[in-house]
Amino acid sequence: MAPSAISTATGADEGSGQYANGISSLDGQLDGMHLNGCSNGNGHARPQSSSDEILDLVCIGFGPASLAIAIALHDTQDAISPVPNALFLEKQPQFAWHAGMQLPGAKMQISFLKDLATPRDPRSRFTFINYLFEKRRLNQFINLSTFLPTRVEYEDYLRWCASHFEREGKVTYGVEVESVRPSSQTSEGKVTSWEVTARDIATGHSVTRRARHVVIAVGGRPVVPQNMQGLKHVAHSSQFASTITQIQKREEGRRLRFAVIGSGQSAAEIFNDLWERFPDAQVKLVIKGASLRPSDDSPFVNEIFDPDRVDGIYSQNPNERATAIALDRGTNYGVVRLELLEHLYQKQYMQRLESSDESRWRCRIIPNRTVLSASQISNSGVALRLGDLDATKRGNGEDELEVDYVFTATGYVRNAHESMLAEVRTLLPESLQKEGKFAVARNYRVKLDEAKVDGRAGVWLQGCNEGTHGLSDTLLSILAVRGGELVRSIFGKGDVGSEGSSSPA
C-alpha cells in the first residue's frame, strides 16, 4: 500500500494554529508577510472599527473554533436583532491550520460530515459538501468513496470558510492579544464591557478594541520537555513541515541522523515521513511504552465525542469525571491510527528480511525509554541520554544516542487564557479566587462575581475545558454545535446547560 494512502494526521488541536512560544531555536518559523496595518497579507482590508466603539463580540484567535462561531453567527443572524458586531483577532499573518503538520498524503481522522456547519445545520452554505460543490469537485470526491479527506483539502475548506469573513472585514491578522481588562461600568460599579489590548506584530504598535463579550480560543502552546529546551537542533512537531524543508536545503548530500520523541499520531507520522524523505538517514523513534498502540475509533467509543455527551460529562462528580476522561484518553492521546501502525510494521519487517540484528536497521523504534538529559554537540547535533523508567525489572539501564536533529511530539499546554485574564482575576467569586483558576459554566462562560460584572457582559473560553467538558473540547468533532450554543448563550437565544457547577476550567 502506498504511503500516501495510509498516512493520517491528528486533528486534536482546533485552536488558532500553533502558538509560537520561542521554545525551539531551529530556523523553522513559517515564512509569510506580516501585516503593516493596511492589509492582512491576502489583499483583504483590515476592519475599520474604532478603539472607542463597543463591539458586541471580540474573538481572540481565528482557528476552527472561532471560525465555527463566525459561521453560526452568519447562519443565525436573521434571528438576532440587531445583527451582532463581531471582530476576530488572529496572531498568524493569514489563516492556517496546523501548518507544521501538513505532511504529504496525510488524511483526516474524522468524517467530513463533522465540519463546521453540518451537525448544527446541514443547510448552511458553509458545509464541506457545499465547499466541494462550489469548487466543482463534488462528483469526483464522491467517487473516492471516503469519509476522510486529506488534511490539505480540509485546510483549504477551512480557508474557504475564513475568506468569507475576511472579505466582510471581520478579521484582523497579525496581532497578538496581550490582555483583557475591565472597561466601562454601570453606575453601580458593575463591569459592562472589556478592553482587549493587542500588539501589531509588524509594527509593534498597540491596538485596543472594546467589546461586551470576549471569547478566547487560541489553541495550545507547544511543549518541549524542559531538558531539551534551548538546544539549537531541537524542535516541536508543530514546526516540522517548515523546519524539515529548510533542513533538506541546508544539509543536501549529508547523511543525517534523526530522533523523534513521542508515541502518538504526530510522532508516528514524523517517523514515517523522515524514513521516506531521507532514504539514507538513520531515524530513531523513542517511546516510553513497550510498543506503539492503536487509537480506538470504533463506533460505540466514538460516541464520547458526540455533542450531546457534553451535558452528562459536565454534570458528573469531578472525581468520576476525571476517571472517565482518563479512561477515554486512549482514543486521542499517545495512540496511532491502525493503518499507519500496519504500514510502519510492514516497513520494519522488510528491514528484518535484510538483517535480524535490529541495531543495524536504518530506522528503529526504541521502546521503554525516556530522555533523561540532552546536550548540544558543538554546533552539529544533540546527545540524548536515554533511560529506562523501570530498569530494575528489565535491566536495560541507560544508553546514549547522538543525532543531528530531534523532533519532539510532546503535546500542548492550553493555559494562554490565564495570562490574558490576569486583570480579570479580581472579578472572580472569592471562593474561586483562592483556587487561582478560571471556572466555566456548561455554556463555556467564565464564572465571574455577579455583584461586580453585569449579566450582559461576559468572558468565554474555548478549547481549554477538557477537564470539565470532556475530550471533545479540544477536537473538531463538536465545533459546529458548540459554535451555535455559544451564539445562543451570548445573544439571548437561550443558555445551554446549567451554570450551577463551580468546577475549575
144-154 pLDDT, tens digit each? 999 999 999 99
- The yes/no answer on whether domain 54-220+414-490 falls in CATH 3.50.50.60 is yes
**DSSP assignment of 412-443, as one string?**
EE--HHHHHTGGGGGGS-HHHHTTTS-BB-TT
Query: Coil, strand or helix: which one is 80?
Result: coil
Query: Coil, strand or helix: which one is 339?
Result: helix
Residue 37's pLDDT is what? 33
Query: Coil, strand or helix: which one is 331?
Result: helix
Q: What are the angstrom distances between the C-alpha of 89 and each of 29, 178, 226, 295?
A: 20, 11, 30, 34
Whether 362 and 279 have beta carbons less than 8 Å apart is answered as no
pLDDT, one tens digit per residue, over 95-111 is 999 888 888 888 998 99
H or E stretch including 144?
A: helix 138-144
Q: What are the angstrom distances between the C-alpha of 217 and each of 88, 314, 473?
A: 10, 19, 11
Distance CA 322, CA 397 (A): 34
Whether 450 and 458 have beta carbons less than 8 Å apart is answered as no
Topology of domain 223-295+333-410 in CATH is FAD/NAD(P)-binding domain (3.50.50)
Segments of the chain assigned to CATH 3.50.50.60: 54-220+414-490, 223-295+333-410
pTM, two decimal places: 0.86
H or E stretch including 194?
A: strand 194-200
> Which DSSP symbol is given to 329?
G
Residue 476's pLDDT is what? 94
Whether 265 and 240 have beta carbons less than 8 Å apart is answered as no
Q: What are the angstrom distances between the C-alpha of 160 and each of 130, 153, 294?
A: 11, 10, 33
Whether 175 and 35 have beta carbons less than 8 Å apart is answered as yes
Whether 161 and 137 have beta carbons less than 8 Å apart is answered as no
Buried b (16+ CB within 10 A) or exposed e, 19-56: bbeebbebebebeeebbeeeebbbebebbebeeeebbb
Distance CA 116, CA 71 (A): 8
Q: Nearest-CA neighbor of 292 among 324, 258, 339, 327? A: 339
Q: What are the angstrom distances between the C-alpha of 269 and each of 3, 80, 136, 241, 476?
A: 10, 45, 31, 11, 20
Distance CA 206, CA 199 (A): 5
- Beta-carbon-side half-sphere exposure of residue 217 (alpha carbons within 13 Å): 34
Residue 104's pLDDT is what? 87
- Cβ neighbour number for residue 206 with a 10 Å cutoff: 12
Residue 158's pLDDT is what? 98
Residue 394's pLDDT is what? 59
Residue 95's pLDDT is what? 96
H or E stretch including 398?
A: strand 398-403
C-alpha cell at 158: 477551512
Residue 24's pLDDT is what? 36
- Cβ neighbour number for residue 391 with a 10 Å cutoff: 12
Q: Nearest-CA neighbor of 459 among 418, 498, 408? A: 418
Residue 391's pLDDT is what? 61
Give 455: exposed, middle or buried? Use CB within 10 Å, 0-12, 13-18, 19+: exposed
Distance CA 290, CA 288 (A): 7
CA 303 to chain centre: 21
Mean pLDDT by 10 residues, the chain (505 residues): 35 36 33 34 47 91 97 93 94 92 88 97 97 97 96 96 97 97 90 96 95 96 94 95 94 94 96 96 96 92 92 95 91 91 97 94 96 90 89 69 96 94 92 82 96 95 95 94 96 46 37
C-alpha torsion 333→4→261→389, nearest 10:
60
Residue at 139: amino acid letter: N
Distance CA 25, CA 196 (A): 30
Helix and strand numbers, DSSP H then E, in the chain:
16, 17
Residue at 252: amino acid letter: E
C-alpha torsion 234→239→240→242, nearest 10:
-120
Q: What are phi and psi of 226, to 5 degrees?
A: -55, -35
Give 273: exposed, middle or buried? Use CB within 10 Å, 0-12, 13-18, 19+: buried
Distance CA 68, CA 65 (A): 5
